[in-house]
């Protein structure tokens, strides 16, 4: 019996400038969703919640977390595209 | 939600935190799962090493670390957005008890919001039900307000302290009528 082997998975994730653009477009989609979410949260919490102190905390924390995660994603994507 | 002149908010009832804590727990598990993937692959490699030594899964060779980190960032962002969406739904969904009426605010996501109210003279009966292990242990259940109006009943599920809240509504009705 011959040796069992799996096909070599030879993916090229960077794919040059086209691939780079596609990654940034994918990232841009998340940025867009993040911005829409921040706006929706601001709208709902300022309009419907009477406790403005708590609303401010929710709006601030939400914007901060989204900014941190998107910032981290941008740094990691840039780093990935630099090495490919 | 606008209050009438002379109307005062006496109490706001939201669903029991158990509702949102359960969802947070699920989201935390989903957040941890991708971080466990390298360990799972290492375990699979150990298992298959005895069967086929030439076969070995290498996650880093397949997806570079930087790309993994990028995808994990987006995964966490997705989970965070789900959490904020659910929390908004939880927090803005409430019963407002005033000195004149009960206002039922039904928030469903970002785009559906229904506000209805019933005045105390219209209330015919208030019933509660607590069924199940967690509702009994954590003291939450369903409060049902039956009315004589077009909207026959008001229902708040996963309501905290059902008995205390029922008494509160009955007392408000009594005070209002008096």
- Using a CB-CB distance cutoff of 8 angstroms, which residues of chain B are in contact with residue A44? 88, 92, 110
pLDDT of residue A4: 46
pLDDT of B108 strictly over 50: yes
pLDDT tens for each residue of A13-66: 555 666 778 899 999 999 999 999 999 999 999 998 888 899 999 999 999 999
pLDDT tens for each residue of B44-66: 877 777 776 666 677 666 788 88
* Per-residue confidence band for A83, with pLDDT thresholds at 50, 70 and 90: confident
pLDDT of B168 strictly over 60: yes
B residues 13-72 closer than 8 Å to A (CB):
52, 54-55, 62-64, 66-67, 69-70
More confidently predicted of B45 and B105: B105
CA atoms B162, B168, B112, B116: torsion sign: positive
Residue found by looking up tokens 């727990």 in the block: B25
Q: B34-56 as b/e, with b when 16 or more CB fall inside 10 Å?
A: eeeeeeebeeeeeeeeeeeeeee
Taking CA–CA distances from B108, the nearest residue in chain A reads: A44
The token duo for B104 is: 């039922």
B84 to A62: CB separation less than 8 angstroms, yes or no: yes
Cβ–Cβ under 8 Å, residues B158 and B15: yes
Kindly report the average pLDDT of chain B as a whole number.
88
Of the CA atoms within 13 Å of residue A8, those in its CB half-sphere come to: 2
- Report ipTM (2 d.p.): 0.80
């Amino acid at each position: 019996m011959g040796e069992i082997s799996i096909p070599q998975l030879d993916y090229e994730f960077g794919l040059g400038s086209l691939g780079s653009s596609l990654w940034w477009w994918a990232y841009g989609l998340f940025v867009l969703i993040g911005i829409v979410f921040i706006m929706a949260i601001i709208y709902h919490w300022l309009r419907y919640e009477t406790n403005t102190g708590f609303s401010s905390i929710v709006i601030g924390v939400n914007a901060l977390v989204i900014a941190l995660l998107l910032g981290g994603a941008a740094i990691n994507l840039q780093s990935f595209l630099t090495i490919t | 939600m606008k209050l009438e002149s002379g109307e005062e908010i006496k109490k706001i009832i939201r669903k029991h935190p158990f509702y949102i804590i359960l969802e947070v727990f699920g989201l935390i598990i989903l957040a941890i799962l991708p971080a466990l993937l390298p360990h799972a692959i290492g375990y699979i490699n150990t298992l298959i090493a005895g069967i086929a030594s030439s076969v070995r899964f290498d996650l880093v060779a397949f997806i570079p670390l930087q790309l993994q980190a990028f995808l994990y960032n987006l995964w966490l962002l997705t989970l965070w957005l789900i959490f904020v969406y659910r929390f908004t739904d939880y927090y803005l969904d409430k019963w407002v008890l005033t000195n004149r009426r009960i206002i039922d605010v039904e928030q469903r996501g970002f785009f559906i919001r229904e506000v209805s109210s019933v005045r105390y003279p219209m209330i015919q009966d208030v019933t509660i039900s607590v069924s199940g292990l967690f509702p009994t242990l954590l003291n939450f259940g369903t409060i049902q307000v039956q009315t004589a109006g077009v909207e026959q009943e008001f229902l708040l599920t996963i309501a905290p302290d059902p008995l205390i809240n029922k008494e509160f509504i009955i007392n408000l009705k009594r005070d209002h009528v008096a």
